[in-house]
Structure 1
Amino acid sequence: MESLPKDIRNGMKVYDSEDHEIGTVEDYQFSDEDPNQPGPETSAASVDQREPDTLINTLGRAFAPTDQLSSEVQERLMREGFIRLDADGLFAADRYITPDQIGSVTGDRVVLNVKKSDLMKAE
């Protein structure tokens, strides 16, 4: 299984497979099955002010109350890890990026191996 690159951080610019800037990293979650990251991990920016790591608290930090993702999809994202993309555009819905959709991470850039339209949308 692929895992989320460890150099991901909030605010990084995200580009699709056609090198179009599509937004920024709003939050991320490492895989809960990654042996190098014991237990659920979220972005370092939220660690100091977060509540204890319980399933409910972790899900609350990872998914906005307005996200209409099925429990199966949420469980998959928590298991595999993900990036929550703050999509560009006034009415653009946030999207979720899975580790297998990441082509490279260099400097302040996350480059995907898919188009924006292929990403899971937070409805």
Structure 2
Amino acid sequence: MKRKTLITATVIIIIATAAGVYAAKAHLSFFSFWKPIQVTETITMAADAFEPKEISVFKNTNVCFKNEDDEERWPASNIHPTHGIFPEFDPKEPVAPGDMWCFQFKRTGIWRFHDHLFPELTGVITVRGS
């Protein structure tokens, strides 16, 4: 009986050690499943509009602007042309056709935006607390 208990304990220790080594090498944590999931939303920049034109997201969400137009596009916060209401929300240069620019919204609020190159194209991102 003692021998069976000793073998069982040894096997459990070996398995626990192997799992710990694997977790350390993979940079895993026992509590990693409690970390918040990174969320990304995509807004398409089409020839004549942002699609969708309005979205609502939680704080720390990444919003990616994908340029599906044949021309350069430049999403940025209002007010045109300075983007002064939320200056960080500005890629500071055009987004080429087929490319994407992403921004993480770390501030809550209602953020109106426009295309710097085509200011008549507008949208709204509402960022709520998490």
Q: TM-score band (shorter)? A: under 0.3
Give TM-score, length-normalised by structure 1.
0.26
Give TM-score, length-normalised by structure 2.
0.25
Greater relative contact order, per chain length (Cα 8 Å cut-off, separation 6+): 1
Which structure would you say has the larger Rg? 2
Q: Give the number of the structure whose residues are more often strand, by fraction.
A: 2
